[in-house]
A and B are shown apart, each in its own frame.
Chain A
């Protein structure tokens, strides 16, 4: 009898996302991004852009139906370890973004004054870059201008810092920090600029030609030169981007790819990807889209009017139990 060689049966393991970070021991925050109500096409695009932004700790292909309520999402969120909701909605005045912490956490309501989609930004750039593994790692977050000490700003800071997983300075690999989210608060206009960039490191101290040659592996044109040394030492005119501030240069601890070597100076170059938004903080509620109002932008009598119109919109979308707004 010829024994048939049996290959051992290997079960395909689906990669499970860790709930707890190995290094820090904290829970890894996960998020859901979804829409409430009927949204036009551009806002749905914005929803997908935000989902990509929150990768890898979010549900990229979250399927939502019209009849899903907030409670449904809550029920699913528990077992999966989802900590934050990002909810998009629209009224005739403007689209709104609500950032909430599950299950009972506070809800921040932002009014989106302006927004641009990721595809449009890529179209407006001369050389859009999109490396393959860009969305494999969570982004860094930079908050600027929030330091005035006001209560609602503090809460916003803490909320956003907790949405993205924390980074341990000692063990983080710089190659895994490829994206950055910037939130800049402007005191005068009370508007928050929301930007999303990709990080790129470029070695400095090397002439442009040699750098391009090493990076692109393209054989240069040596027709007019007498000697290779001419190519290497040629004094080229400096282009605008070559003028690097000292502030932008970093010294790397390890090698990052072929070009950026350790303890050599490299320049940090950012390029914008992802959606661009201008937000205005309008409301902070204690509960998940319910509960007492901690802060409201419109503090005078107009507040009740604005709240009412927005609540009416919400009532059409969500269950009535969820909406227990205090009306002044």
Chain B
């Protein structure tokens, strides 16, 4: 014996009690059960009986535990399903003394037992369902006794919704004011506008056509032809202008074109012209000291020391 003890001392912990893995995973429960032993077992068995039975009075001799709660039971028609005793035990063990039901009226404050709580709740619920089943009310089973109040509340809510709906509609109207969805794409007015726009485009294209075909034969870099080009350009442009303005008194189609301010002897590319930056008053004094306000942001020009190109 001694030798066995000595031999096992250093090496094994649970030499005396050898349990499997599963047992070691649930140590507490086992301990609990083991500790409970006979007294508690009795209590639990009684409880299970109470829970499953429909009898009125039960004797309980658990002075050590919570106070028993007695309720008068009137009608029992349905039994709760039977649970296994083991589950019962566990449930009771865990929830014992923690539940206090408020759903049945006139409860004694304090901790009540779970089984009693269930009974009481069952009672109360049955009462309610019975009551509301008799009525023709649409409201259905109502837990509160003040049914009128609730009806009023619902009526109020509906009225509120209606008002809100109207307000929303008004807001939406204001928001979308002016927004028109085009129902029919081509009506008379649209066609008329399309015609005007087409006329404008056609005029522009014709003018371009004239100007560019006339120019095609001439090479703009040769100075001899340059003057011819400029003359033709000016003539064509002014003639087009004259035509458009006198065409109809009512509708004057103005197309945004430039030109007309191009002098003779001016090459095609703007920086090559002599008056490139001179005509524009803002770009003109680019090398002079600036004493302009901060407002005039466009007038900000870099100050340089180079000589100006002006005369």
Contact = CB atoms under 8 A, between A and B. Distances in A.
Contact of A253 (B180, B212, B253): B212
Interface string A155-179: 0010001001011111110100100
A170 B233 contact: yes
A20 interface: yes
Contacts of A167: 204, 255-258
Interface string B183-223: 11100001001101111111011111101110110000000
A20 B215 CA distance: 25
Nearest to B275: A25
B202 A248 contact: yes
Nearest to A93: B177
Given A79-B297, A140-B204, A161 B256 contact: yes
Contact of B182 (A20, A81, A116, A251): A116
A140 B212 CA distance: 18
Interface in B148-202: 174-185, 190, 193-194, 196-202
Given A167-B256, A270-B201, A250 B209 contact: yes
A140 B207 CA distance: 14
B131 to A, nearest CB: 52
A197 interface: yes
Task: Give the size category of B's interface with A.
Answer: 35 or more
A112 interface: yes
A184 B205 contact: no
Task: Give the size category of A's interface with B.
Answer: 35 or more
Interface centre among B197, B251, B257 (most CB of A within 10 A): B197
Interface stretch (B80-88, B109-117, B119-127, B265-273): B265-273
A137 to B, nearest CB: 14
B297 A77 contact: yes
B69 interface: no
A115 to B, nearest CB: 6
Interface string B219-255: 0000000000000010011000000000000111111
B208 A172 contact: yes
A247 to B, nearest CB: 6
Nearest to A114: B180
Contacts of A193: 193
A21 B270 contact: yes
Interface centre among A112, A144, A180 (most CB of B within 10 A): A144
Contacts of A95: 177-178
B280 interface: yes
Nearest to B261: A24
Nearest to B175: A40
Interface string B271-300: 101001000100000000000000111101
Interface in B51-85: none
A249 B211 CA distance: 17
Contacts of A114: 178-180
Contacts of A174: 205, 208
Contact of A25 (B197, B276, B295): B276
- The A interface is mostly helix, strand or loop, or mixed, namely mixed
Nearest to B206: A250
A180 B200 contact: yes
A283 B177 CA distance: 20
A145 interface: yes
Contacts of B182: 116, 120-121, 124, 276
A184 B273 CA distance: 37
Contacts of B237: 169
A93 B236 CA distance: 49
A26 B298 CA distance: 14
B259 interface: yes
A94 interface: yes
A306 interface: no
A78 interface: yes
A29 to B, nearest CB: 11
Given A184-B196, A252-B205, A78 B212 contact: no
Contacts of B196: 142, 144, 182, 184
A125 interface: yes
A251 B178 contact: no
A166 B256 contact: yes
Contacts of A74: 297
A115 B202 contact: no
Nearest to A143: B254
Contacts of B251: 144-145, 147
Contacts of B175: 40, 42
Contacts of B276: 25
Contact of B295 (A93, A104, A252): A104
Contact of A270 (B184, B194, B254, B258): B194
B200 A26 contact: no
A291 interface: no
A247 B177 contact: no
Contacts of B250: 145
Given A193-B193, A268-B201, A169 B208 contact: yes
Given A169-B236, A253-B208, A272-B185, 14 more contacts: A22-B270, A78-B298, A79-B297, A114-B180, A120-B181, A142-B196, A142-B197, A144-B196, A166-B258, A169-B258, A169-B259, A182-B197, A250-B206, A254-B212
Q: Which are the 7 A-B pairs with shortest beta-carbon distances? A: A78-B297, A25-B270, A147-B252, A166-B258, A142-B200, A40-B175, A250-B205
11 contacts: A114-B179, A124-B183, A140-B255, A144-B252, A144-B254, A166-B258, A169-B236, A172-B208, A180-B200, A253-B208, A268-B205
Interface of A: 20-27, 40, 42, 74, 77-79, 81, 92-95, 103-104, 112-117, 120-121, 124-126, 140-147, 157, 161, 164, 166-172, 174, 177, 180, 182, 184, 193, 195, 197, 199, 247-254, 268, 270, 272, 276
